[in-house]
Amino acid sequence: MATPDGKPRVFISYCWENPETVRRVHEFADFLDANGIHLEMDRYLPEGASLYKFMESMVNDPGVDRVLCFIDRAYTRREQEGEGGVSVETTIISQDVYDQVSKTGRPVRFIPVLLEHPGEGERAVPVMFTTAKQVWMTDAATDDQNKVRLLNLCAGQPEYARSQSAKLPAHLRPGSVAFDSRASGLATLVQTQLQQDRPQRALVSFQDYLDALAGAFERFNLDVDAGHYHHNRTQQIGELVDERAAVMTEYAETLDAVLRSGDSAPVDDLLDFFARLLRLNFSHRASLVTKDVSRVFSREFFTVAVALLIRRRLYTDVPVLLTHRYPGPGFKAGYDRLCYGPEDLGHGHVTEAWQQGVSRRLWERAGLSLPEAVQAEVVLVLFEGPTQDGFGWGLDNAALWRGVELPLFARAESPRTLRPLSEIFGRSIVRLLPRWEMRKDSPERMVTWSNLLKLRDLRELVESEVERAHRGTHPE
């Protein structure tokens, strides 16, 4: 039972025969006392007090939270031979120790701490501790680290605890199909290295992961009946994508972990990854099935990358992806070609509804909220760079945009909150706003840019800033 001020009560049992043991135990005690542990041990007794009564009262006192038994060879020998205070303590506590190790759910109160290796033919610990989990601290050179271990034990903190947040790798979760075992293994390796605080190794493994993932798409193919596939193409693509949707979870969780661990993004690795997908999407050698599946995932991989960069506030890395000229088979193109979906699927509400369903399912598998995903798509549609001819077909998902509040636009309330938008689009809001205001609404898709982008609020904010700057330049 903790003291009134919340300090854990801990009794220290040890043998006084070996001076080195006494020195180490007192050093441990000094550290514990200085770090908020209420210690009960013989050194605090007044002169003339009964040591035997004190020992008996401590091991019988239910208000003592922990009993640390520091065991050396002398401690074990005295317990065996029935000598001294150690014998008194062990006689009293033996039944409690047996109960502790034999009854599931009983609180662990008695902790054996080994300070010495046993001699040849000797038992390491008293009989009562034989089946108890023991704490080995036999190397005095590591006592500084051991002090922290003991502090945690006294406070009731386990030395090892199960992770409460770790997830089973995406490809191993129920109902998932591993797209590529090597890529999945590398994704797991990236997460492990980040948990071990090895970010540089994790970046190398992430590069290998993207390389393996691109290779898996290049090798992907299915032997399907061409006539049946063409006749039910959207259904077939949807089924193929859904069966392999775990790869989107794996990709998003791995990329997000890497972005979360540092101040910069592995942009060059992403550029190489997207370039390989672009070459595959327009390859004359790849089958229609391969290209269909790759194109669906390429679009959403790119959208997810933009969304996660924005989530982690790596705004200046977004235009790097958007202005890059990705080398394809015999040409270079912007992200609009990279994100171009399956060819010749037709147009109209049926195709758009299919696209919206596929995108939304993959966004969910990526762990994106709808506002995050829609905001990334809106950025792709609005961006005007030198390497792309327009992302107009991105309006296929516009029905999903209705009623969604875009975080960056909704938070634009001051010049400081406008900065992320300027960094993402590579231009000041003063230059961007007129272009956005000139965009034509799309009634058939119910896209109203003024509402979606909060253009009226942006205009008022920009005008007030321009007026303020003008007054500062030309004081009255």
Helix (H) or strand (E) holding 190: helix 181-195
Q: How confident is the model at residue 387 (pLDDT cuts 50, 70, 90)?
A: very low
Residue count (the chain):
476
The answer on pLDDT for 347 being more than 80 is no
**Three-state DSSP class for residue 329:** coil
**Three-state DSSP class for residue 61:** coil
Output the DSSP codes for 216-284.
HHHH------HHHHHHTHHHHHHHHHHHTTHHHHHHHHHHHHHHHHSSS--HHHHHHHHHHHHHHHT-S
Cβ atoms within 10 Å, residue 387: 15
**Whole-number pLDDT of residue 280:** 95
Least confident of 17-26, 90-99, 128-137, 405-414: 90-99
**Whole-number pLDDT of residue 60:** 78
| Mean predicted confidence (pLDDT) in 1-29 | 89
The values of phi and psi at residue 13, to 5°, are -110, 130
pTM here is 0.67
Residue of higher predicted confidence among 81 and 245 = 245
The values of phi and psi at residue 121, to 5°, are 80, 0
Identify the CA nearest to 382 among candidates 328, 319, 464, 290. Answer: 319
Residues 6+ apart with CB under 8 A from 368: 252, 304, 307, 376
Q: What percent of the chain has pLDDT over 90?
A: 39
**Whole-number pLDDT of residue 92:** 57
CA pseudo-torsion sign 244, 245, 248, 251: negative
pLDDT tens figures, 302-344: 999 999 999 999 999 999 999 999 998 888 888 988 888 887 7
Helix (H) or strand (E) holding 424: helix 415-425
| Mean predicted confidence (pLDDT) in 199-214 | 95
Cβ atoms within 10 Å, residue 85: 18
Output the DSSP codes for 132-189.
S--EE---GGGHHHHHHHHHHHHTT--SS---SS----GGGSTT---S-HHHHHHHHH
Determine the Cα–Cα distance for residues 312 and 261; give it in Å rounded to an integer.
Answer: 10
Determine the Cα–Cα distance for residues 139 and 136; give it in Å rounded to an integer.
Answer: 8
Q: What percent of the chain has pLDDT over 70?
A: 83
Determine the Cα–Cα distance for residues 51 and 113; give it in Å rounded to an integer.
Answer: 22
Q: How confident is the model at residue 95 (pLDDT cuts 50, 70, 90)?
A: low
pLDDT tens figures, 69-80: 999 998 888 877
| Mean predicted confidence (pLDDT) in 351-365 | 90
**Whole-number pLDDT of residue 186:** 93
Residue type, 405: E
**Whole-number pLDDT of residue 369:** 96
The answer on pLDDT for 167 being more than 80 is no
The answer on pLDDT for 109 being more than 90 is no
Determine the Cα–Cα distance for residues 468 and 412; give it in Å rounded to an integer.
Answer: 17
The answer on pLDDT for 15 being more than 90 is no
The values of phi and psi at residue 349, to 5°, are -65, -35
Determine the Cα–Cα distance for residues 242 and 177; give it in Å rounded to an integer.
Answer: 10
Residue listed under structure tokens 């409690």? 96
Determine the Cα–Cα distance for residues 91 and 126; give it in Å rounded to an integer.
Answer: 11
**Whole-number pLDDT of residue 235:** 86
Antiparallel, parallel or unpaired: β 135-136 and 38-40: unpaired
Determine the Cα–Cα distance for residues 378 and 138; give it in Å rounded to an integer.
Answer: 63
**Whole-number pLDDT of residue 270:** 97
Identify the CA nearest to 406 among candidates 428, 373, 447. Answer: 373
Buried b (16+ CB within 10 A) or exposed e, 397-428: bbbbbeebebbbbeebeeeeebebbbbbbbee
| Mean predicted confidence (pLDDT) in 88-103 | 57
Q: How confident is the model at residue 441 (pLDDT cuts 50, 70, 90)?
A: confident
Q: Which CATH number fits domain 9-154: 3.40.50.800, 3.40.50.10140, 3.40.50.300, 3.40.50.10190?
A: 3.40.50.10140
**The two three-digit tokens of residue 223, written as one number:** 């032997």
Residues 6+ apart with CB under 8 A from 383: 319, 322, 391, 425
**Whole-number pLDDT of residue 464:** 82
Report the range out of 231-235, 432-436, 470-474 with the highest average pLDDT.
432-436
180 half-sphere exposure, CB direction, 13 A CA radius:
20
Determine the Cα–Cα distance for residues 282 and 334; give it in Å rounded to an integer.
Answer: 13
pLDDT tens figures, 118-154: 877 777 788 777 777 889 999 999 999 899 889 988 9
Residue of higher predicted confidence among 417 and 324 = 324
**Whole-number pLDDT of residue 388:** 44
**The two three-digit tokens of residue 13, written as one number:** 């049992």
**Three-state DSSP class for residue 37:** coil
Determine the Cα–Cα distance for residues 439 and 455; give it in Å rounded to an integer.
Answer: 11
Torsional class of 121: left (φ above 0), alpha (ψ -120 to 50), beta (otherwise): left
Q: How confident is the model at residue 170 (pLDDT cuts 50, 70, 90)?
A: low
Identify the CA nearest to 378 among candidates 358, 401, 355, 359. Answer: 401
Helix axis angle, 415-425 relative to 455-473, nearest 10°?
A: 110
